[in-house]
Structure formats: structure tokens, C-alpha cells
Structure 1
Amino acid sequence: MAGWAQGGAKTGTQTVAPAEVQAAEPLPLTVSTDRASLAGHFARLIDRDHALGFGDVLRADAEGRFERQTVFRGAGQTPDIHWYRFDLLREAGAPADWIIELGEAYIDHLDLYVPDRAMAGDAAGYSIIRMGDFVPFSQRPMKTRLHTTRLTLPEGKPVSLYLRVESVSSITMRAAVYAVPDYAGLQVTNLLFLGVFFGVLAILIMGYVSLGMLLRDRALLAFTGYAGSVFVFYLFSGGIASILLPDMPGWLQNLVVGSSAFLGVAASASMWDRILDLRVRHPRLHWFYVGIRWMALLSLPSAVSWTYSITNPVVLLFATVGTLAGAVLSIVQAVRNPADTSARYYAVSGLIAIAGNTMTQFTVRGTLPVDWLFADPYQIAVLGTMLCLGTGLALRIRDLQRERVRAQEESAFATKRAEEQRTFIAMLSHEFRTPLAAIQGAAQMIELSGEVRVPSMQTRVRRIVETTRRMSDLVELFLSADALDQGALALKPEVVPLDLLMDESLDGLAGAENETRLSVTVEPTDRMLRVDLSFLGVAVTNLVRNALRYSPPQTAVRVTAHLAGQDLVIRVADQGHGMSPEEVERIGSIYFRASSSRGTKGAGLGLYMTQRIAAAHGGALTVESTLGVGSVFTIRLPAVGEPESDDVAVPSGADPLTVQ
């Protein structure tokens, strides 16, 4: 400019001689001006090589290399240095003092070059006013959230201000001039929005972190982490933290802003993963969200380095894709299950977040003007996102509580029914014992008396004895199964040799037909074991009896017993009909009988008891079965082997082992 460009340019202690510069269309400041944007009254020059000093900039301006701009547009995350020239004109009668506000708050370096007539003679130089988040709040020219300073302008003469901008974060510049008396009053809209924004986030964080810890719900805790990271991000990037920490260094601000952004992405990925139960419903998408989480966490060190401009866009791209996928899955879930109202809120929250993030990226990269809204579009969208997510999670908690109450009621009802059934079975079994014993005793007396000589009558008497014995065994089986189910039956372990265990187990299966079909291998026979002989014998007997009963008469049943280390392994293999995988899964369920058992007698308690007896010894019952080939049942009891010793004695009163 003619009146202000002559003489040297004062840059700290350095003076450069600017060439003649000329301004066009300066911003007029009148007596009625309270606020005026500098949009349309500035020009820009980009220094890609970081090679221009202020004198070079003035010469470039004189050469017409500054580009006139009509609106403020973002430059994205760039290492380039941006120079701006602002043109002002204080008209006659307007006040001399004004306030210029520059933003955004998170820009690293803002060096404002202001004409200074304090230099000797008529020479007009430029003094530097340093601002930006690398200048501690306590050292700034004005103590405000954004970067502001006072200007004293001459009347009737155009003035050019030059601004040097350099930042690791995205450059989204805006500038406005305020009348000094009106500056504070014109901040009400922004301050009111910030108060609502931080207030809502604080309430959500405090409420949901308590619920998440109380319920141990990871989805709630992930949501709280996301809300907390957004709170911290905007607290520091919005300039509020600088007021609270007036001597905070710029590198710390960059670290917190970058880290909170990455942590927010990680928490958001975890939240979508949890609320949509992706591990169960969509395992591949689950790993995609796990990958996003780890990508964000591994990018944390870049928050204070030049690589932030590379890692941040990549992480944000994947975060946007993850949010979009979460919104789509929520929509699908809401369509498939209209009663799931929480899914609708998740979908809306995701769409709001995507819309806000898209508009922010358009703003940051210059597609939309910087000052088309009073605040960051994503910051406005976050408020709606958080409220929708919070509502959806509240409905989710309500649904979970209803399911929990329903499950408790069903469990209480099932427990009551089971108790009534047990009482009935126990009563019935006890009532059967006495008459069965009387019938069996009378039949045995008749059989032993020798008075019945007719063969057909002898057969009937033997049938009565066998039938009453089977019914007595069935009664005992019902009572033992109920005791095992209730944990009321105590096992009495004793030290016995392996061959005795197998002899006792197979003794009740003696018979010519069974002896030809059974193939028994026991090794080593004299190994001493600490087990409950009676109950483990019942378990083995059940397996062998089932194998003989449910396999063709001409096929062999192989029984093997051996030690694997200190573990006892008993295996029973048959060549029967086999079972389907669905039936194998139900083996051990009380009263369950496979389809191949139709037409044969049984109560479905044998394998149930075998499984519980094995579990009482600390072991397990496993099944391998193939339809049309046969089945292999294996009892494996860990750590039951005892060292061989000549002085091992069988204890008469071993400590009881209670079935759990």
C-alpha cells in the first residue's frame, strides 16, 4: 500500500525493505460496524518450499503473486506455509481501536505482521504479533479462546496485514474484525453452543461410566471411552484447555488432540463391535473392527510428528467406513427385528456421524467454505450422535434388564418344577421299595422251596424275581440320579487295583453270550488307583451294558482299561447303529435316549449317571460315533494313579468326595 509500504519492514529486530504493494477492495470499517468478516477482502500465497522470508512475501505481493480469495476455504493437512494479506479501511468517524480474531484455535503458528509507524522518520515498518497454540495462553496478546489481538488503524488510509500460517494439523483459517465494545457480546452464540456441547458430553460420560462399571458392560464402557475422547479432543482443539492450562506448551496440545482423535476411533470401533455383537453374528466384520482399533492405537506416536498428516487421514478413512458399516448393519437389524428399537437409534447415530464427518472433510479440504457454519460440522453432528447412541444404549439396558428378569422368573419356575418332580420321584421310589422287596422276597422263597415243579410255573417265578429285581434297580437308579443331580451323594474313594475295578464292573454281565462277545484288555492289572469302586463300577457297567444291548448280537464289544501317565482311561467300543452328531451332543442329558434305542427297555439315566460319576472323579465322558459303524465311549479320570507299593492298604473310612 502507498502510505504503509515505504521504508523498511520490521520483523522482530530485523528490518527488510518491502517493495511497493497495493491493496484492492479493503474491508470498510464504519461507525456502525460491530462485526465484519474478512472474507472477500484478502489474498493468499502458498510457500511450498518454506523458502520465503517476509521481504520475499512483500516482493511477491508487489509482483501480483498473491491470489485474491472471496471465501475462507480449508487447505487440509499440509506441510505448506500459507501467507494471507488482509486489507482494511477505517472510514471517517469510525473508532480507531478494533479486535481481529483468527482461527481455528488448534493452528500451531500464526504470525501477524502489522504496520508500525513507530519506526524513525516517515518509514513504515511491520511488527510481528505471534499467536497460535504454540504460544502459551499466558503470553498471548489477548486472553481469548481463539487468537485475537487489538489493532489501532489510521483514519481514511488502507492498511494491509500479513499473516503467516504453519501447522501440523489441518489449516482451516477464518478471520473477522470486531468493534471493541461489541466483541464479548458477539461470542454468546459460540459460548452457548460450547456450554451445551460439553455439558451433554459430561452428563453422558458420568452416567454411562457408572452404569458400565456396575453392569460390567463393555459396550457401555466403549461408548464412554468414545464420548470421553471426543470431550478431550474438543476441549483442547477448541481452545478451552489453553484457558485452563495457560502455560501449556504447544507440543502437549498437539499430543492430546492427536491422541484423543486416535483413541476416539479405537473406542468407536470397539463400541460398534460390542453393540452389534459382531464376534457372534459377523466374525469377519469383528476382525475388521479389531483391525481399526489396533490401527488407531498404533498411530498414537505419530500425534507429535510430521507423520500425523499421513496417519490421521488413513485412520479417519477406516473409521468412516467402520461407522458406515455399523449404520448399515443396524438398519438391517432393525428391519429384521422391528421390536429392536435400539438398533434404530444406532443406525441414526451412525448416519448423523457420517454426515457430520463428510461435511467436515469437505470443509477442511476446501470444498465448502470454512465459515458456512458457526462451528465445526462434525462437532455439531457429534451432539446428535451421542444423544442417539445414549438413547439406544439406554434402551439396550432396558431390554437386557427385561430379559434378565424373564430369565430369573423362568429359572425360578423351572427350579420349582424340578423340585416338585424330584420330590414326586423320591416319594414314588420310596413307596415302591417296600412292596417290591416283599414281592421279590416271596418269589425267591417260592423258587427256593422246590414246591413248584411245573416248568412253566418255574419260568414264571423266575420272571417275577428278575422283574422285581429290575424294578428295584430302576428305583435305585432314579434315587442315585437325583442325588447326583443335587450334589447330595458323597463318593468314598479307596485304593484298589485296576483289575479288581474291572472285575467288579463286568461281574454283573456274566453269561455265555456276553462272554463270547466281550473282548477285555486291562494293563497293568496290578496298578493301584484311588477311586470310588462302587460308583465307578456302575459307570463302567452302564457303558458295557449299553454296548451289548444296542449292537447286533453277533458283533464284538471291546473294553480296554489302561493308564496314560497318572490318568485312567476306560474305553468301550461297539459295532452298533451309531449316532448322529446331534444325538452325540445330547449324550449325558437326563432321560435322553438315541433313536437307535427304540424298542429296547431303558430310562435314559445310565449315561447321565456315568457322566456325573466321571465328573465327580474330576474326569469326563466323551463319545465318538459314526452312523452305521458304531460308537466309542471313553471315561478319562485325571490323576487317579497311585505309585506301586507293597504296603498300600485300602482305607476303611476315606474322606468323602462330594459330587459337584
Structure 2
Amino acid sequence: MLALSFRLSTWIFTTVLLVLLNMHFAFSAPNNITLQYSWKTLADPTGEMKIEQIRLSDHLFKPVHSNAFGYLKGALWIRIEMLRKPEQAEQWWLELQSPMLDYATLYEKDATGKELIRTMGDHAPMSDREIDYRNPVFRLNIPASKPYVVYIRLSSQNTMTVTPAFYTCKSLMKSIATEQIFFGALAAIYFALLINGFWLCRASGDWSYAWFGLYALCNLFVMLGSEGYLYQYLFGNAPEWNEVILIVSIYFGVPTGGQLLLSYLEIKSKLFRMVILLDWLVSLLAVVFLFLADQQWIRPAFQVWILLNMLFGTVFIFVTRRQNKMVMRILLALFPFWLAVALRSFRNMALLPSNILTDNAYYIGMVLYVLALNYAVSMKVKTLRQAHDQALNDALELSKKNEHELEEQVIQRTMQLQEAVRQVEASLQLERRARAEQREFFATVSHELRTPLTVIDMTAQNLELDAVEGDAETRTRYRKILQATKRLSLLLDRYLNEDSFTLMRRGVQYKHCNLHMMLEDAARSASILSCSHQFILQLDPLPENIVCDPDLMLLVLRSLADNAVKYTPPGSTIVFTGSINAERIEVLISDNGPGMNAELLSRAFEPHYRGANSAGKPGSGLGLMLARKLMENQGGSLTIDSVEGKGCKIHLSLPIHAEVSDFSVA
């Protein structure tokens, strides 16, 4: 374990050297981007100035002396004036090298003078950005040989450090790739240290190693949050979480680092313990005041508190260096780390400009410091070898026991699964047999009913022919018999066959069909039930051809037309009216019958419910419920309006479908 930890430390140290070399060659490479530009700034403490005021205030903009502006209230306006040579590309990318901007809004005018506004920032969703990148990047089409001016409004609760940079598409990709290598290597180092700390904690049972892993985790989140990678890759659609994780990691990283030193160096000093307790309290209060009370002065104040903590820790360790041989190793890494933290804090407070040193010294110093702590951790692992070997033997024994138990469980589960499969197969066989018997029953019933029905129909026809010279009342009775036999034959054709029986089981099958013909068919079918009802079809506003399931739609229309005849007195008028409203087809079926009372209307769609007016009328109370279900399956709706004594209105609504995948004409 000691050798493994030492090899890990060596690998991390080598990675750090490679990162430094990569930074040297990346940032020392000649820059052949020669777009000429200048930029100036204007502070807006109130944050209320509009772009119209800004365009009239060019004389108030001041040249930039430092790209670090500290913690600003309100907003900061940037005026950038560019001049492109004719031989240069027209399209450029403007990068604001500051991932912690809350909002960055760019204002420019196109060739017609129209104001173009684009807003980015880590408080806005990543989807608002032109490319998925941690820094705000704006694409500009710059005219040649004349000045081109854009204005940018910046606002941020964090320290504001911003540098504009112009790239062609190729150079932008190269810049992004270079920094991805750099920060990817740093993230890999932190992640390796994090895994190492928690692995040692788990292997040894010593929770002091967990402080090391937690400290590495805090610093990993600080780097990823400060550089915008949490926002770019994890919280693009919830940017507020990037701010929460970053603040918590920074503020609680201070007492976590102190707790780490206290555990590793086995410090007994009461003063040091009191300072760590104070750190926990200050960090907790700072987070509470920052998030709940929005006290933004906490941010610069906590930068000073971090510097004081680093100074105290360095002095304390130097004073106690003779009491612990590991102290000097920690001190050699702590002193440059303190300098790196000081550089970063001074930059955040606008006391130093933003550059490659002030921007990245903190990360390099932190890696070196945590690397030294990791080496200190590895020296304590030697005493764990024997316990590890014993734990390994115990684990092997437990593994063998678990393996044996697992085999027995697998055998039992296999037997249970086989029995379940047999039961399922038996159930399927029963279902198939039941379906076959059901189809046979329907065929038998249909055949047995058709034979006497044919005899009745033929007899009625003969009687009608023989009664040509008979009285009108007798002929009317014969016609009713013929209408009844026709109706019964229609019911047999419609429902007592396999196709109709499976109509509800299949899915919706959209086809092009003739709506007028279906409405006429429903009226004609219902008229068989009564010779005294009058049907009126007002279909001119409706298109003839629509897209729907013709079988389901015809079943709905016939059922509703039958109900209209069934529940209205002889001589009633039933009107079919059609219209198109808001991309939907509307069909209204109205009658002048007795209508429904409030109770019947509220329960009309309950299955098997039949009102008092249904006494003596055939039916099962399922017609309206099934009709509404069939309409909803097609994306439509069915509603009823009725007032007792004033008739009933049934509203059908169906969406207008533009296309159908399985095309056929009904």
C-alpha cells in the first residue's frame, strides 16, 4: 500500500510538470490573430443605465488600465471598437475571458441599423449561448476597413475579472483545446488525490484520511466552479447550483483544510483547535448571510479572512516545526501555497491585474500543497499492511461463503422461474382456448339468428306483396316488420363478427375517410328504429375528407344517433351540424326531446348507469362511455349540454390531421 501511494504521488508530480510545460508552450506560442481593436469601460453603480444612454455617453468611457475590477455594484459597460483589414476573415469570435460573469449582454447594430441583443452568463441557461463553452463567446460579422463598435453590459456578484479576446474559428478551437488539456490535467490530479484519500480512509478505518479526501473535493469544486466547468457540463440548465456549490466549497474549504492539518500533524494546541472552531463558525455564518440575507460584502471580507488563516497556519507550523518531522515537509508546500492564495485574493479585490500568473498560481500552488499532504498520508500507511492482509483473508472467506449461498439461491430462483413459466404457458393456453370458443360462439349465434331472421324477412316481404290492395294500416305493419328485420340484420353484421369484436382491442388506425358519408350513414341507420323521427343534416361547413379511424368514428356516430332516437319521443327532430374551429372539426348532434336533468347529466358517462327515462328501453348503459373513450383515443373529445325540457346537445371535436402514415381511402 505504501508503494502504491508513493507511485501515485510520483505520477501526480510528473503530471504537474507536464501541465507546467504545456502552459509554457501554449501561452508562449506566437499569436497570429492581428485584429485591431481597443476597449474602454464605464462604471454604472446603479445598474439602471440603458443602451440609448450609453451610446450618447462615449465621452465618459475610460481606457482600461487593468482587467481586474474587483467586486462591483451595479454594472460595468465595455465599449469595443474594431477595425478589420480587407484581407482578414469577416467572421470573428469575441470571447470574454471570465467564466464567473452573472450576465454579459452584447449590443450591436446590423447593416440596417436594427439593434441586436444577445445575453449570456453563468446565471443564464447554457442553451442561450452560441457555443457550449464556459466563457461567454459572441459571433461577430465585422465589416472591413471601417470602425465597428459594440457595447457589452456586465454584471456579477463575484469578483469581476474580464479580458476580451478575438479569434477566428480555427484559433478559437485551438485555444479551447489547450485550456482543456490544462484544466483536465488539474482535475485529474484532484480526482486522483480525492480517490486516494477516501481509499486510504476505507482501507485503514482512520477518518483523518477522509478529511484529506474532503479537502481535495472542496478544491476540485472550487476549480471547476471558478472556471465555469460545473456550469458548462453539469448545471447548464440550472445555473444557480453552480454558484451554490462554488460558495460552499470555498467557504467550508478553509476549516476543512485546518481540520486536515490538525489530524495529520496530530496537533494538540488548544489555540489551533479554537481557530478551527472559529473557522467553522465564520464559514457557516458567511454562507447563511450570503444566501439568506444577500450580504454581498461577505465576499471581499472572506478573502481577507482566508489570507489571515493562511498566515496564521504558516506561522504556527513554522513555530512548531521541531515537534514533528513531517511539519517541515508541509511547511515547504504551505508557504508557496500561501503566496498563491495571496495573489489570487489580491486579483479578486482588483489590487493586481488578471494574467497567467494571478489566474493560475492558486491552482498550481494548491496541487503542490495537496501533493505534499498526500505524501504525508502515504508515510502513515506502513502500519496498515498487516491489518490489510488479515482483512483480505477475511474477505476471501466471506466471498467463498457468499458464493456458496449465491449458488443455492440461483438454483432456488431457477426452479421458481421454471414453475412460473409453466404457469404462464398454461394460462396462455387457457386464453387461446377461450378466444377460440368465443369466436365459435359468435359464429354459432350469428348463424342461428340469421336463419329465422331470413324466414321472417321473406315472409314479411310476401305479406307486403299480397297486401298491395289491403288497407294502409296493414301495409304499415308489414313495413315495420321489414324495418325491424333490416335493423336486426345490420346489428348482426356490425357486432357479431370477429372484426367488430376486436375493434376495441386494436389501436387507432388513421385513414382518409368521407365524413359526410359517415354522418349520412348514422342518420340512415338510426331512422330504421323509428319512421316518425326527422333527421336534418347541415354539413356544408364540414370538409368531406378528413383523417380519422373510420371504424371507430362510424361506431361513435351510429351509437349517438341511436340514442337520439331511443330517448326522444316520436316526431322529434334530430339535427347534425358541422363546423371548423381553431384547427379542429366540430360536429353537433342536437334534438328537441325532453333533455336531461342535472343528476342524469352529471352521471351520463358512468358505466352501466341508466336514468329513469330509460325504463323499457334496450341498452346496457355503456354507449356514451364507450363513445367518449373512442373519441379520446383519436385525440378528440365528447361533451354533453342539456337543460331538462329543452333537448340535448352532444358536441364532438376532432383534431385536423394533415398526414396519415398508413394511407388508404375508406
1:58 to 2:55 alignment: yes
Give the C-alpha shift of residue 82 in structure 1: 0.6
Taking a change above 3 Å as real, the CA distance of residues 272 and 80 of structure 1, as seen in their structure-2 partners, is: farther
Q: Which residue in the other structure is 2:33 paired with?
A: 35
Q: Return the alpha-carbon distance in structure 2 between the equivalents of residues 357 and 100 of structure 1.
A: 30
Q: Which residue in the other structure is 1:12 paired with?
A: none
Written as runs of structure 1 = structure 2, the 5 A alignment for 1:425-464 is none
1:385 to 2:363 alignment: no
Q: Which residue in the other structure is 1:103 paired with?
A: 97
Give the C-alpha shift of residue 271 in structure 1: 1.4
TM-score by length of 1: 0.51
Q: Which residue in the other structure is 2:565 paired with?
A: none
% identity of equivalent residues: 19
Give the C-alpha shift of residue 404 in structure 1: 11
Q: Which residue in the other structure is 1:328 paired with?
A: 315
Q: Return the alpha-carbon distance in structure 1 between the equivalents of residues 293 and 69 of structure 2.
A: 16
Classify the secondary structure of the residue corresponding to 1:41.
strand
Count of residue pairs brought into register by the alignment: 359
Residue type of the alignment partner of 2:54: V
Taking a change above 3 Å as real, the CA distance of residues 109 and 379 of structure 1, as seen in their structure-2 partners, is: same
Whether the 8 Å contact between 2:93 and 2:140 is mirrored in structure 1 is yes
Whether the 8 Å contact between 1:259 and 1:303 is mirrored in structure 2 is no
Q: Which residue in the other structure is 2:76 paired with?
A: 82
Match of 1:69 among 64, 68, 84: 64
Q: Which residue in the other structure is 1:319 paired with?
A: 306
* CA RMSD in angstroms, aligned pairs only: 2.7
Q: Which residue in the other structure is 1:45 paired with?
A: 42
Taking a change above 3 Å as real, the CA distance of residues 71 and 91 of structure 1, as seen in their structure-2 partners, is: farther
Taking a change above 3 Å as real, the CA distance of residues 404 and 295 of structure 1, as seen in their structure-2 partners, is: farther
Q: Return the alpha-carbon distance in structure 1 between the equivalents of residues 280 and 307 of structure 2.
A: 13
Whether the 8 Å contact between 2:46 and 2:73 is mirrored in structure 1 is no
Q: Return the alpha-carbon distance in structure 2 between the equivalents of residues 137 and 374 of structure 1.
A: 27
Q: Which residue in the other structure is 2:208 paired with?
A: 219
Classify the secondary structure of the residue corresponding to 2:70.
coil
Q: Which residue in the other structure is 2:607 paired with?
A: none
Residue type of the alignment partner of 2:297: I
Residues 202-254 of structure 1, C-alpha deviations (whole Å, 9 max, x = no match):
00001111212333334321121111011122223322223323643232221
Taking a change above 3 Å as real, the CA distance of residues 141 and 36 of structure 1, as seen in their structure-2 partners, is: same
Whether the 8 Å contact between 1:115 and 1:159 is mirrored in structure 2 is no
Q: Which residue in the other structure is 2:274 paired with?
A: 287
Q: Which residue in the other structure is 1:116 paired with?
A: 110
Q: Return the alpha-carbon distance in structure 2 between the equivalents of residues 36 and 233 of structure 1.
A: 34
Q: Which residue in the other structure is 1:642 paired with?
A: none
Give the C-alpha shift of residue 319 in structure 1: 3.0
Residue type of the alignment partner of 1:330: I
Taking a change above 3 Å as real, the CA distance of residues 309 and 218 of structure 1, as seen in their structure-2 partners, is: farther
Q: Return the alpha-carbon distance in structure 2 between the equivalents of residues 65 and 139 of structure 1.
A: 31
Q: Return the alpha-carbon distance in structure 1 between the equivalents of residues 339 and 34 of structure 2.
A: 30
Q: Return the alpha-carbon distance in structure 1 between the equivalents of residues 369 and 294 of structure 2.
A: 29
Give the C-alpha shift of residue 44 in structure 1: 0.7
Q: Return the alpha-carbon distance in structure 2 between the equivalents of residues 267 and 46 of structure 1.
A: 37
Taking a change above 3 Å as real, the CA distance of residues 320 and 272 of structure 1, as seen in their structure-2 partners, is: farther
1:141 to 2:130 alignment: yes
Residue type of the alignment partner of 1:149: F
TM-score by length of 2: 0.50
1:180 to 2:175 alignment: no
Residues 249-302 of structure 1, C-alpha deviations (whole Å, 9 max, x = no match):
232221111111112123112112323333x2x112211111112211232234
Q: Return the alpha-carbon distance in structure 2 between the equivalents of residues 356 and 386 of structure 1.
A: 13
Taking a change above 3 Å as real, the CA distance of residues 246 and 37 of structure 1, as seen in their structure-2 partners, is: farther
Residues 471-496 of structure 1, C-alpha deviations (whole Å, 9 max, x = no match):
xxxxxxxxxxxxxxxxxxxxxxxxxx
Whether the 8 Å contact between 1:98 and 1:179 is mirrored in structure 2 is yes
Q: Which residue in the other structure is 2:509 paired with?
A: none
Give the C-alpha shift of residue 68 in structure 1: 0.9
Give the C-alpha shift of residue 336 in structure 1: 4.9
Taking a change above 3 Å as real, the CA distance of residues 175 and 316 of structure 1, as seen in their structure-2 partners, is: same
Give the C-alpha shift of residue 391 in structure 1: 1.6
Q: Which residue in the other structure is 1:298 paired with?
A: 285
Residue type of the alignment partner of 1:347: L
Give the C-alpha shift of residue 190 in structure 1: 1.4
Classify the secondary structure of the residue corresponding to 2:158.
coil
Whether the 8 Å contact between 1:99 and 1:178 is mirrored in structure 2 is yes
Q: Return the alpha-carbon distance in structure 2 between the equivalents of residues 384 and 33 of structure 1.
A: 30
Taking a change above 3 Å as real, the CA distance of residues 229 and 208 of structure 1, as seen in their structure-2 partners, is: same
Give the C-alpha shift of residue 310 in structure 1: 2.1
Classify the secondary structure of the residue corresponding to 1:369.
coil
Classify the secondary structure of the residue corresponding to 1:248.
coil
Give the C-alpha shift of residue 348 in structure 1: 2.2
1:237 to 2:226 alignment: yes
Q: Return the alpha-carbon distance in structure 2 between the equivalents of residues 292 and 347 of structure 1.
A: 20
Q: Return the alpha-carbon distance in structure 1 between the equivalents of residues 248 and 353 of structure 2.
A: 27
Q: Return the alpha-carbon distance in structure 2 between the equivalents of residues 291 and 403 of structure 1.
A: 39
Classify the secondary structure of the residue corresponding to 1:92.
coil
Residues 430-462 of structure 1, C-alpha deviations (whole Å, 9 max, x = no match):
xxxxxxxxxxxxxxxxxxxxxxxxxxxxxxxxx
Unaligned runs of 5+ residues in structure 1 are: 1-31, 406-660
Taking a change above 3 Å as real, the CA distance of residues 313 and 214 of structure 1, as seen in their structure-2 partners, is: farther
Q: Return the alpha-carbon distance in structure 1 between the equivalents of residues 260 and 129 of structure 2.
A: 40
Unaligned runs of 5+ residues in structure 2 are: 1-29, 389-666
Q: Which residue in the other structure is 1:443 paired with?
A: none
Taking a change above 3 Å as real, the CA distance of residues 224 and 320 of structure 1, as seen in their structure-2 partners, is: farther
Give the C-alpha shift of residue 147 in structure 1: 1.2
Q: Return the alpha-carbon distance in structure 1 between the equivalents of residues 323 and 247 of structure 2.
A: 39
Match of 1:91 among 81, 85, 91: 85
Taking a change above 3 Å as real, the CA distance of residues 323 and 260 of structure 1, as seen in their structure-2 partners, is: same
Which structure shows the bigger proportion of residues in helix conformation? 2
Whether the 8 Å contact between 1:103 and 1:173 is mirrored in structure 2 is yes
Classify the secondary structure of the residue corresponding to 1:127.
strand
Give the C-alpha shift of residue 330 in structure 1: 2.6
Q: Which residue in the other structure is 2:447 paired with?
A: none
1:151 to 2:140 alignment: yes
Q: Which residue in the other structure is 2:360 paired with?
A: 376
Classify the secondary structure of the residue corresponding to 2:56.
helix
Taking a change above 3 Å as real, the CA distance of residues 36 and 348 of structure 1, as seen in their structure-2 partners, is: farther
Whether the 8 Å contact between 1:269 and 1:293 is mirrored in structure 2 is no
Taking a change above 3 Å as real, the CA distance of residues 402 and 327 of structure 1, as seen in their structure-2 partners, is: farther
Residue type of the alignment partner of 1:367: L
Q: Which residue in the other structure is 1:455 paired with?
A: none
Whether the 8 Å contact between 1:134 and 1:251 is mirrored in structure 2 is yes
Match of 2:378 among 365, 372, 394: 394
Q: Return the alpha-carbon distance in structure 2 between the equivalents of residues 114 and 309 of structure 1.
A: 32
Classify the secondary structure of the residue corresponding to 1:370.
coil
Whether the 8 Å contact between 1:146 and 1:239 is mirrored in structure 2 is yes
Give the C-alpha shift of residue 328 in structure 1: 2.5
Give the C-alpha shift of residue 306 in structure 1: 6.8
Q: Return the alpha-carbon distance in structure 2 between the equivalents of residues 374 and 130 of structure 1.
A: 28
Taking a change above 3 Å as real, the CA distance of residues 246 and 253 of structure 1, as seen in their structure-2 partners, is: closer
1:169 to 2:158 alignment: yes
Residues 61-110 of structure 1, C-alpha deviations (whole Å, 9 max, x = no match):
1xx111111442x1222323111111111012111001111131121001
Q: Return the alpha-carbon distance in structure 1 between the equivalents of residues 238 and 170 of structure 2.
A: 31
Whether the 8 Å contact between 1:36 and 1:176 is mirrored in structure 2 is no
Q: Return the alpha-carbon distance in structure 1 between the equivalents of residues 197 and 184 of structure 2.
A: 20
Q: Return the alpha-carbon distance in structure 1 between the equivalents of residues 134 and 202 of structure 2.
A: 35
Q: Return the alpha-carbon distance in structure 2 between the equivalents of residues 42 and 183 of structure 1.
A: 20
Whether the 8 Å contact between 2:231 and 2:239 is mirrored in structure 1 is no
Q: Which residue in the other structure is 1:273 paired with?
A: 262
Q: Return the alpha-carbon distance in structure 1 between the equivalents of residues 266 and 276 of structure 2.
A: 12
Whether the 8 Å contact between 1:272 and 1:326 is mirrored in structure 2 is no
